[in-house]
Structure 1
Amino acid sequence: MLRERIPRPMHGIARSTYYRIGQATSSARMLPGFILIGGQRCGTTTLFKHLAEHPQILRPGIEKGLDYFTLHYDRDMNWYRGNFPMRSGAKVRTQRWGAPVAFEACTYYMFHPFAMERIAADLPGVRIIAMLRDPVERAFSAYKHEHARGFDTASSFEEAIDLEDERLDGELERMAADMTYESHAHRHHAYVRRSQYAEQLRRVYEHFPREQVHVLDSETFFDDPYGEYRKITEFLGIAPWMPEEFLQHNARPSLPLGEGFRARLDAHFVRHDEDLAELLGSVPGWRR
């Protein structure tokens, strides 16, 4: 990863230089063969890192997720394509294994109301991978993550949940009216709504055929990472390669969640998980 090789004070200069060079050479660069669309706090960082280890798979040069189809869609495809590897170098790098496959991972793509429509318009043949997690655990982990980064000042998870509807009121309408509008609340405070997976996957299936979409849950992945990784390589049609070991990345220490509040949230998600099971044709791992 480019930014790991450059001193931190030089990151801004290096980033702007990289973007300029990327745009100037965009016609010679790859586009992604697949995108990891989320969900947030579902183990996507772990999956991203282990996919990037595969000798056929190539990641963007700076960020794992580019947010082009969410936050930067007012830019053009030259900017987007400029973040991916050069085709010529990629072919040399992967020649022992097969054709190179580029990808990115953005956990906002699955939840954003317009991202999947935009992806389908610009990359109709791209493959989609979605990773899900116990909705209560995901929501709680997201709050800890946003609070630790200073994006949520609510004093507790319970308070953040109680504020969610008020915070998100009118945000979808503002996003629809202005492509450049970045909703802080929609991106950082949608704890319950981001865990309602069925409605998000229905939007995915509105724009992509099911054979282009692979859905897995983090409980099953962390229980059997080799088996789930093999299924992904088969889905992508790439060489059957495995990492030497699977490590968990970007996890946060667990804190106790009151049983009464957990039960309240779990009851809320029962209907949504039933919808998900019907949509996928199987019960999600956290409900088995």
Structure 2
Amino acid sequence: MRCRPFQHIGMMDLPDITDSEKGSIVLPNCYHIGAAKCASTWLYHACLEHPDIYSPPENDNLNFFLLHYDRGLDWYRSQYFGAVSEGKAIVDFSNAYMLSDIALDRIARDTPNARLTCLIRNPVDRAYLHWAHSYYKSSRPPADPATDSGNPLDAAVERPSGRTFAIPLEVVRHPNGWVWGRAWLEPGLYAAAIRRVQARFPEDRLRVFVYEDLLRSPEEFLSSYFEYLEVDPSFVPACINREINPDTEETDPARMTDDLRTQLKAFFRSDIEDLQRILDRDLSEWL
């Protein structure tokens, strides 16, 4: 089973999007499931600008099907989609879904006709960014919702001071560093994640996009993404050339030591090789 990567597609490739068969129950008909630190916040802002797409304007990481499913679909709908009008592509951005069997099972059961998208990048760089944003930005002031997807610690009554995640990335290779390995390395095991999705959804219900394609041509990238959602692919958002949640000199993956980069390449190698087969795409630049 092959999962097609970023490319232009015809509008007739998929059946029409439905929101529970276009009834009165409005739920998402598309889920952006990850991966974290792969420009999902930028893509979310692009979707907010598109007139034919609705995504909750106050949060780009709902994670309902993992964290709040016990509250029920009525709560989910009223909390996030009460303002939606019919005929739109309705997108839930939640990076946790890509890693969660439980969330994927619930999505498949409750919205079986939905589309899923994911955006991936070199997993070594992704791992460094995920760690660096925790290490170097954990002591930053409360997030600006106009530019940042937020820090959950901002919700604390007494927000911790200082670096909350002052843990070196090297701990992920220690036998007892598995909890950090799950946080920083596992999200980059894309082939394993895609196979979880494929076990629950038809092949044409998942579209995988690659970050390097976004860098080469943001316009073509967004056109393909919008086309997959069956909305106007010619729309160009104002944020197309704007950095959102920008990196700093400290969070640049180029700062990683050669030794650690070599170790992480070895860790991800077999998954990247499997990913090449799934996508039918050369990813040797990641190896």
TM over 0.5: yes
Amino acid paired to 2:210: D
Residue in structure 2 matched with residue 117 of structure 1 by the alignment: 105
Rounded to whole Å, the distance in 2 between the matches of 1:247 and 1:284 is 27
Judged with a 3 Å threshold, the aligned counterparts in structure 2 of structure 1 residues 234 and 252 are, in CA distance, closer, same or farther, namely same
Residues 1-288 of structure 1: pairs in structure 2 closer than 5 A: 30-86=26-82, 90-91=85-86, 99-147=87-135, 148-149=137-138, 152-154=165-167, 156-159=168-171, 161-163=172-174, 166-168=176-178, 185=179, 189-240=182-233, 241-244=235-238, 245-253=240-248, 254-255=251-252, 256-284=255-283, 286-287=285-286
Gaps of 5+ in 1: 1-26, 92-98, 169-184
Deviations 1:160-185 (CA, angstroms, capped at 9, x unpaired): x134x5354xxxxxxxxxxxxxxxx4
CA displacement at 1:210 relative to structure 2: 1.5
Rounded to whole Å, the distance in 2 between the matches of 1:28 and 1:224 is 39
Rounded to whole Å, the distance in 1 between the matches of 2:271 and 2:42 is 26
CA displacement at 1:42 relative to structure 2: 0.9
CA RMSD of aligned residues (A): 2.3
How many residue pairs get aligned? The number is 234
CA displacement at 1:269 relative to structure 2: 1.5
Q: TM-score, normalised by structure 1?
A: 0.74
CA contact (8 A) 1:31 1:84 kept: no
SS in 2 for 1:279: helix
Amino acid paired to 1:162: R
Deviates more, 1:260-269 or 1:125-134: 260-269
CA displacement at 1:28 relative to structure 2: 6.0
Higher relative contact order, chain-length normalized (CA < 8 Å, sep 6+): 2
CA displacement at 1:217 relative to structure 2: 1.2
CA displacement at 1:252 relative to structure 2: 2.4
Residue in structure 2 matched with residue 8 of structure 1 by the alignment: none
Gaps of 5+ in 2: 1-22, 139-162
Q: TM-score, normalised by structure 2?
A: 0.74
